[in-house]
Chain A
Amino acid sequence: DAGITQSPRHKVTETGTPVTLRCHQTENHRYMYWYRQDPGHGLRLIHYSYGVKDTDKGEVSDGYSVSRSKTEDFLLTLESATSSQTSVYFCAISETITSGPSTDTQYFGPGTRLTVL
């Protein structure tokens, strides 16, 4: 299994508070991703990173920011949490994005279940 951990695994917070989720990898992979998963929507990309300090928006980035100061860590911050951000958040990593399936496969972390009351 790819070495990916997420913390915390579960969090309950209140509307309006800031929340930071952490993704940590031990694989030295260049690419990291944050997804959210909601019933009926599959997994949707929030933000991704293609290197240290290099990030870009995904399809559902409003209300979220990210930072990557080290290869191994990718942080997702909810600036002011809202109930619509209650979800399961998954981090993923991939070694490359070339056309080789053995290297550009995305591996997912265990997820963080976030509840915003």
Chain B
Amino acid sequence: GQSLEQPSEVTAVEGAIVQINCTYQTSGFYGLSWYQQHDGGAPTFLSYNGLDGLEETGRFSSFLSRSDSYGYLLLQELQMKDSASYFCAARVYNQGGKLIFGQGTELSVKP
């Protein structure tokens, strides 16, 4: 089957750095996306890795290693507003560009 695994919960303090890992097992994989969702609202796009390596977007970075079927999202200088659920999602070839989502990691940022 096709699946993505990520931790269910992560807790960190304001100003810290946190890493959310994602391992995947999918056929036709061609990239890994990350989405943020606040309190059941609309998921919003954060980052995408189509190639191995690190992509940086402000305080957020994302990494992909195809050989290890592994990626992570790195959040720096954590703020209270970063408390949300974070989903990794695999993009799959030739299936309408569909995304296969992990179950999500709930990040709690404490003062």
Contact = CB atoms under 8 A, between A and B. Distances in A.
A97 B97 contact: yes
A94 interface: yes
Interface string A99-117: 1010011111111000000
B110 interface: no
Task: Give the dominant DSSP class at A's interface.
Answer: strand
A56 B96 contact: yes
Interface in B16-45: 30-31, 33, 35, 40-45
A49 B95 CA distance: 10
A108 B103 contact: no
Nearest to A111: B42
Contacts of A48: 96, 98
Given A35-B101, A42-B102, A42-B103, 6 more contacts: A41-B103, A97-B96, A99-B30, A101-B50, A106-B99, A111-B40
